[in-house]
Amino acid sequence: MGVEQKLGNMGVVTTTLENVVNWSRTGAMWPMLFGLACCAIEMMAAQAAHYDMSRFGMELMRASPRQSDLMIVAGRVSKKMGPVLRRLYDQMPEPKWVLAMGDCASCGGVFNNYAIYQGVDEVVPVDIYVAGCPPRPEALIHGVLTLHEKVKGDKFKDLAADIK
């Protein structure tokens, strides 16, 4: 069956280290829960049995930034929440990604006023924007899969340059 037949008795596969590392990173992302508003309800629905995000290797949300590598910002970020969010982002170990879930986290949504950041990209660098108000769980899962595609294309030299 499959890979065993093709390999015979050798038990060896040749590939690049980049491929292996990127594949393992996409298969086991640890999202940090950052539920700020109604988007968090859709995020919970995406994890629950009906949509089951664990099919993509991320069934468990961590409440600690030090145990996670993907920050899902679900909801509007107020001016007072911004420094808190940045501090949690800074505590996450590299490599790390940010997914702005919903219109408010992406661009401020309907809240064009003094209290709300016009997009979380004013506070932390964002990799993926998911549109919707709130996005359905399918949309969130699509965003996560798009992020997986992005991670699979990562080059070590770019990551090293980023960390410097």
Q: Does 13 bind other proteins (CB under 8 A)?
A: no
Shortest reach from residue 133's CB to other proteins, in Å = 16
Residue 83, Cβ density class (10 Å: 0-12 exposed, 13-18 middle, ≥19 buried): exposed
Neighbours of 144 (CB within 10 A): 24
Stretch that binds other proteins, among 17-25, 106-114, 139-147, 148-156 (CB under 8 A): 106-114
Single residue of 2, 3, 4, 114 touching other proteins by CB under 8 A: 114
Shortest reach from residue 118's CB to other proteins, in Å = 4
Residue written as token pair 């008795």: 9
Q: Does 99 bind other proteins (CB under 8 A)?
A: no
Q: Report the distance separating Cα 154 and Cα 2, nearest Å.
A: 28
| Preceding peptide of 134 cis, ω within 30° | yes
How many CA atoms, within 13 angstroms, populate the side-chain half-sphere of residue 151?
24
Single residue of 124, 130, 140, 147 touching other proteins by CB under 8 A: 124
Q: Where along the sequence are the contacts to other proteins (CB under 8 A)? A: 79-80, 83, 86, 108, 112-115, 118-119, 121-125, 162
